[in-house]
Every structure is written in structure tokens, then in C-alpha cells.
Chains A and B, each alone.
Chain A
């Protein structure tokens, strides 16, 4: 390699790495400040000193008791698990009918699914609130869980895209052996579509975990609050200190980060599935 080329390569490598490191520092700084504040004493959190002296690790325990975060966690887990089950159970058959079966109006039905995806939630939420109120479902998990048992446009779309890629011959072989559509779906397609189903389940679980708007409308009883609602009221309700507020924010964030690292592969596959790349 001629020296000028080598020098050029060396210089771009240095600039690239510098830019990467600087950007990483920018992304990490907020986290560092938040963690440091979470372990400061009450007085220091109000002062201008940035390094905790002393480290107050039991702030996390105080944060856990200041508001019933464990109860909120349990509420959130119930809602997230139930609505994830509902979404998977209802969307797999719909996606199957939309991708593996031939029938008149299939394209039209698929277009309708996509249309519901475009509709802002604000348009439907007001009448639904009235309906749920008349059913006495306000202050229960039902408004947050029951709708997921009736299909979700994005999940149907994702599953359909994946089902389309499974070779037709596999279904044909099962048909020759005398299997009906339900058997083909549960014994052939579902086992092959595990990565897609896992991605759909994960996306729905995280969506339910983070959702703020719907729980804000339907849960007014503090005993039923989810983590997102409870955390949003942490400071407003009791004027608690920033250090405890930051501790609580970290506690709410931690499970999501753990899930991310455990399920990284499912994530990557899910993003590729959406097919939005170019």
C-alpha cells in the first residue's frame, strides 16, 4: 500500500472513531447524570455538586416504598401478558387466512386491515370510552385487554408477511395426508413461524408495558395504576425529591433493558420483517 493511501486510511479511521466516541458520550451523558442523582442524598440532589457524596444506594428501596411500585409492576405485567396472549391468539388465524388460503375478497380484506392501521386512535377512543363506561369497565383492566383478543392490524401485517414466505409445498403435503386448514395452521405454519410470532409477542408486550394514553383514560383508581401512570404521578402527587424520582425512573426502565438484551435476536428479526428497509 502506498504511504499516502495508508495515511489517508489512518486519518479516516481516527475521525470515524472520534465521532463514534463523541456521539456515544452524548447518548450516555443523560444516563450517567440520572444514575448519579438517583444515589444522592436529598440535600445534595438540590445542590450544584454533580458527584454523589455519600452514595445512597438505599434510595432505590425508598423509591420502591414511596409509591407502591411493586403493585404497579404486577398490574402492568398482568395487562401486558394478557394483551400479548390475546394478540397472538387472534392474529395468527387472521394472518393465516390472509396469506395461506385462497378466497374471494382476500385482497380487499387485507386492504381494510391496513386501513385500520392508519386510523388515529383519537377518532375511535371517545365512543369506545362511552361504551366501556356503560359496561362498567372503567377502572378495570378489561378496556386494555379485551380489544387485543380481536386482532391488531400491525401484528396481522407482520405475521402475514412471514407466512407468505413459507413454501406452498409444505401445506400441500399436509393436505395430502388429510389435514384440514386448522391442523395445517397449528402443526405446520405455527412451528415454522416461531420467530415472527416471538417478534409480534415482544412488540406487543413492550407496547403494553410502555403505553400511557389508554391506562390514563381507563384507570383512575391508584390501586390499578400501571408503572407508566404511577411513575408519571410520582412527582406530582407527593412533591418527592428528584433523587427518588430518578431512582423510580431507573427501576421502571431496567426490566425493558433486560428484555432487550435477552431478546436481541428476536428484535433484529422483527425489524427486518417489517420490510421497511429500502
Chain B
């Protein structure tokens, strides 16, 4: 009976997980263009990646930028918006809906919308003009500002993360704040010594998700690049500033059909995310505060 009930997953696990993992590991040691059979290449793909492929290092730099700049901004913004919603005020439900809804917008629609909003003659830059900024950035049309366009897009869609933080904040026991009040703690002290430790598990969770998402960041960057270039060959535009790890992998695998090399990229991606996650979990015991133990 167990075997029967488990069978959908067991088949799926073998066909869509075990087999492809083994196959991509094998491909990563071969030259493979789909049409001919794979040719054994040893470590050549990995050597090429680390020493000669300029796109690999460019994509690593872009991805690390999004990880180290984008993730903290996103988490901070999620915490701040969630904190605004914790105090019971009239109409708080309406505000919560307004803050949350943008995260429901399909990513492709949101990305196209922001490319328009931030285009050189678009409404945002015209507003900046009105406020006296006469040389506003060109955002998605300028390599050193394009990633900031994606950051703004990410902040606008902060809703889901915000809801999780909101739940965490509302879970902090009242008594802790009351005790802090009796001790004469200031608002800032309460934040640092009560709120922050209590929501540290949510921050930890968001950091792990942030690492995984940064290395898999694809749709928004793909859509922004191709929309700006007005062409499907515009991946990573302008000037490679939006060439993130997963876009490079997509391009190698499905545009150039370098399946062997793309598999090597996929495995490096897998190893990097695993390493980061393990590292985060290791350090977490030092700063993540679990109420009543980790396994509740």
C-alpha cells in the first residue's frame, strides 16, 4: 500500500531528479551539442570556465552584486514595511493589501512595466526632472545603473517577504515589550534587544532564500535586457551588466547548445548554493535565536 501511494513521487524522483542529476554531471565532463553523441573532455569545461571564459566571471560579479547589495536592501525594506503594519491602526488591512499586491503581479509584466517607468523619457525621470534632478540616471539603458532598476523592481514586489516578517513580528510575545518598558528601555533598545533577536529566524530564512534566488535570478533580468534591446538577442543588456549566472547558463545551453559546458555551469551553481547554505546554517547558531528550540 505504501509503495502504491508513494509511486508517483518515486517515479518522479528517479526520472526527473536522479537521472538528470547523474546525466548533467556526466555531460559536464563532455563536449555535447545535442546532435552528436557526447565526447569525453575530462576537466576541460571546468578549466575553460575558470580561466578563459570572460562571461563566467562577469556573471559571477553581477550575481554577487545582486546578492550582497540586493538581498540586504530587500530584507531591510521587508522589515520596515512589516513594522509599519504591526501597530493596530484604522485601515491597516487596506494598507497591507496595497503593500502586498505588487508581489502578485506576474514577473514578466512587472519587469516590462519598470523598463517603461524608468526609460529615459519615462514618468519617473520626468518626475525627477521636476524635482530638480536634471541628469537623472538612465536606469536600464545605462550599465552602471541597470541593476538599480532591478533593485527597485524587487523592492516594489517585496510583499511576500513582508507578509512573512509581519507574521514573525506579530508573534513576538507582548510580555517581552512590557518587561522592557518597565526596565525603561527606549524604542531603539527595544528594537535591538527584543524585536531583532525574536525575528532572527525569519531573517535567517530570508538570507537562505536570498542566496538561492540570486543564483537563479532569471526572468526579470532576461525580460529587462531583451525589452531594452528590443530583441531576443539582448540577453544581459546593457553591455553585459544584467548577465547573471542563470542567464549565462541559459545562453550557453539553449542558445549555443553547449550542453556540456552549461552542465558544468549548472554543477558549479549547485555547489556554490549548497556551500553558501551550509555556511549560513553553520554560523546561524551564533546569531539566530530560536524560541523554545529549533524543532517545535
Tell me the A residues contacting B by CB distance below 8 Å. Answer: 13, 16-17, 19-20, 23-24, 27-28, 30-31, 33-34, 37, 46, 48, 50, 89-91, 93-94, 96-98, 101, 103, 109, 112-113, 116, 118-131, 133, 147, 149-151, 156, 180-182, 185, 206, 209-210, 212-213, 216-217, 227-228, 231-236, 239, 242, 245-246, 249-250, 252-253, 256-257, 260, 271-272, 276-278
Contacts and interface: CB of A to CB of B under 8 A. Distances in A.
Interface of B: 1-2, 4-6, 8-9, 11-13, 15-17, 19-21, 23-24, 27, 34, 81, 84-85, 87, 89, 91-92, 95, 98-99, 101-102, 104-109, 112-114, 116-117, 119, 121-124, 126, 156, 163-164, 167-168, 171, 198-199, 201-202, 205, 212, 215-216, 218-219, 222-223, 226-227, 229-232, 234, 246, 249-250, 253-254, 259, 262-263, 265-267, 269-270, 273-274, 277, 291
Given A46-B121, A253-B106, A272 B216 contact: no
Contact of A30 (B81, B156, B163): B156
B190 to A, nearest CB: 14
A185 B1 CA distance: 12
A-side interface mostly: helix
A86 B264 CA distance: 32
A31 B110 CA distance: 10
Nearest to B81: A23
Contacts, number: 240
Please indicate which of the listed interface residues A28, A130, A185 has the most CB atoms of chain B within 10 Å of its own CB. A130
B1 A101 contact: yes
Given A24-B99, A150-B12, A120 B24 contact: no
B227 A236 contact: yes
Given A17-B89, A123-B267, A232-B223, A128 B2 contact: no
Contacts of A109: 6
